[in-house]
Chains A and B, each alone.
Chain A
Amino acid sequence: MFKALLFDLGSGFLVTCEIFALTLVIAIPLGLIVAFGSMSRFKPLKYFIRGFVWVIRGTPLMLQLLIVCYGPGLIGLFTVTEPMIAVIIAFSINYACYFSEIYRGGIESISRGQYEAGAVLGMSKGQTFFHVILPQVVKRIVPPMSNEIITLVKDTSLANTIAVIEIIRVAKNFTGTYAVNIIIPLLVAGIFYLVFVGLLTLLFGFIEKKMSYYKV
Chain B
Amino acid sequence: MSEEMIKRAPETILEVKGIKKKFGETEVLKGIDFSVAKGEVVVIIGSSGSGKTTLLRCLNFLEFSDEGTISVNGEVLYDGLAEQTAKKKLKHNDKLLRVKRLHFGLVFQNFNLFPHKSVINNLTLAPTLQFKSDLRAAKKAEKEKARALKKASSAEEIAAAEAKYAANGKPDYRDVEEIKEKALSTLERVGLLEKKDNYPCELSGGQQQRVAIARALVMNPDILCFDEPTSALDPELTGEVLKVIRELKDSDTTMIVVTHEMEFARDVADKIIFMANGVIEEAGTPEEVFGNPKSEKTKAFLASRNK
Contact = CB atoms under 8 A, between A and B. Distances in A.
B199 A213 contact: yes
Given A120-B62, A121-B215, A127 B129 contact: yes
A136 B104 contact: no
B62 A116 contact: yes
A136 B113 contact: no
Interface stretch (B93-101, B177-185, B253-261, B299-307): B93-101
Contacts of B159: none
A123 B116 contact: no
Contact of A118 (B99, B126, B199): B126
B201 interface: yes
A131 B122 CA distance: 11
Contacts of B201: 214-216
Interface string B189-208: 00000000001110000000
B264 to A, nearest CB: 23
A131 B129 contact: yes
Contact of B114 (A120, A126, A132, A215): A132
Given A113-B110, A121-B125, 18 more contacts: A114-B114, A116-B108, A117-B112, A119-B60, A120-B60, A120-B101, A120-B104, A120-B106, A121-B216, A122-B98, A122-B99, A123-B125, A123-B129, A126-B94, A131-B129, A135-B116, A139-B116, A214-B200
Interface residues of B, number: 30
B114 A119 contact: no
B112 A119 contact: no
Contact of B116 (A113, A116, A120, A214): A214
B74 to A, nearest CB: 21
A57 interface: no
A117 B108 contact: yes
A80 B110 CA distance: 57
Contacts of B169: none
26 contacts: A111-B112, A113-B108, A113-B112, A114-B114, A116-B106, A117-B112, A118-B126, A120-B60, A120-B106, A122-B98, A122-B101, A122-B102, A123-B98, A124-B95, A126-B94, A127-B129, A132-B125, A139-B116, A213-B199, A214-B115, A214-B199, A214-B200, A214-B201, A215-B115, A215-B201, A216-B201
B126 A123 contact: yes
A58 to B, nearest CB: 35
A154 interface: no
Interface string B103-136: 0111010101111100000000110011000000
B244 interface: no
A188 to B, nearest CB: 44
A43 interface: no
B219 interface: yes
A141 to B, nearest CB: 14
A119 B101 CA distance: 8
Interface string A92-117: 00000000000000000001011011
B23 to A, nearest CB: 15
A114 B111 CA distance: 10
A131 to B, nearest CB: 6
Contact of B219 (A121, A126, A127): A121
Nearest to A113: B112
